[in-house]
Amino acid sequence: MNTPVLDVRDLHVEFASRRGALHAINGVSFAIARGEVLGVVGESGAGKSVTGLAAIGLIDPPGRISGGEINLSGQRIDNLPPREMRRIRGKRIAMIFQDPLTSLDPLYRIGDQLVETIRTHLTLSESAARKRAIDLLAEVGIPAPDKRVDAYPHEFSGGMRQRVVIALAIAAEPELIIADEPTTALDVSVQAQIIALIKRLGRDHGTAVMLVTHDMGVIAETSDRVAVMYSGRIAEIGPVRDVVQHPLHPYAKGLMGAIPTLTGDASQRLVQIPGSMPRLSAIPAGCAFHPRCSFAFDRCRSERPEPIAVGPQRVACHLHDPASPVRAPVEITA
């Protein structure tokens, strides 16, 4: 059996507060294989970005990983000293942040930032590193890379800056890239180009990608599998085609039902999920989604559901538990 590039087991992340510990991530488990793109989707506050930050070791106090483990190609990394984690971060794991302006130093030329990153992780001379920087810019689709390498970040458009950030991420040929909302601030046409680029990275380099987004369209176009997160847990995970076309969890069904279709009936109303994501200080007992779920019953209000295998998908919902007195109907609509 091939060892996954990223293997997260029963991850718990908490933040200390005057009211006690706030549990941002509560028992998350998943794995990403070489060359695979795992999409992580959910509303704001679901825990998507915190999961990615935990994987790359960027949870700062008062936050901490309070349980579980994170393995990179078979090596446990969540308990490494900060100095050893810095050697892994950028070389074996890279991250693409939502806003490229926060990832690029406005006072330095693009080429200088690429060369610094390359020489930090690879044994190359100044000239060889500059040549690789130009090659990376060409690979991510920057026109005239030999000239643009000497430009400053403010001389690039938003889409081109995001391409530069992707070039920085792949500079040391990492095993894993965590992309946190990489297309949010971009035009639709530029989004499509960035999506195609991320897919090509996995195909050509064998890079595992964890794609964090709230956009199901991006997930459907890019990912091989998708994990739907809610209130710090994975509500459903499985192949993207199965989860998009036949979601099992009521929350996942609500997300899919809220997406307009090009061929659908114009008079058909979109699904609206009532309520909002609970605050970390007020997560309900049992299933965290039960106050917003029209199918909740007594067990949902008192007992937290554990993931259950249903075909190729895994769903944390009592409606799909064979031992439950209330079973899921053939088709759930929100």
Token duo for residue 32:
């990403």
Taking the model in full, what pTM does it have?
0.89
Cis peptide before 62 (omega within 30 of 0): yes
DSSP code string of 201-242 = HHHHH--EEEEEES-HHHHHHH-SEEEEEETTEEEEEEEHHH
**Residue that wins the pLDDT comparison between 203 and 280:** 280
As a whole number, mean pLDDT of residues 201-211 equals 86
As a whole number, mean pLDDT of residues 139-145 equals 90
The pLDDT assigned to 332 comes to 45
- 230 Cβ neighbours under 8 A, 6+ residues apart: 42, 43, 46, 251, 277, 288, 289
At 178, is the secondary structure helix, strand, or coil? strand
pLDDT in tens, 288-297: 999 999 899 9
The pLDDT assigned to 12 comes to 97
The average confidence (pLDDT) of the chain is 89
Sign of CA dihedral 74, 76, 80, 82: positive
As a whole number, mean pLDDT of residues 314-329 equals 80
Cα 295 from chain centre: 28
The pLDDT assigned to 334 comes to 42
**Cα distances (Å, whole numbers) of residue 84 to 70, 76, 87, 197:** 15, 12, 5, 30
Split at pLDDT 50, 70, 90, the class of 333 is very low
- Other C-beta atoms closer than 10 Å to the C-beta of 64 total 15
Query: Quick check: 273 and 265 in contact, CB under 8 A?
Result: no
| Least confident among 91-100, 111-120, 139-148, 253-262 | 253-262
How far the first Cα of the chain sits from its last, in Å, is 39
The pLDDT assigned to 69 comes to 96
pLDDT in tens, 10-59: 999 999 998 889 999 999 999 999 999 999 999 988 999 999 999 999 99
pLDDT in tens, 213-225: 888 888 888 899 9
As a whole number, mean pLDDT of residues 151-172 equals 89
d(CA 191, CA 63): 32
pLDDT higher than 50, residue 330: no
Residue 62, amino acid: P
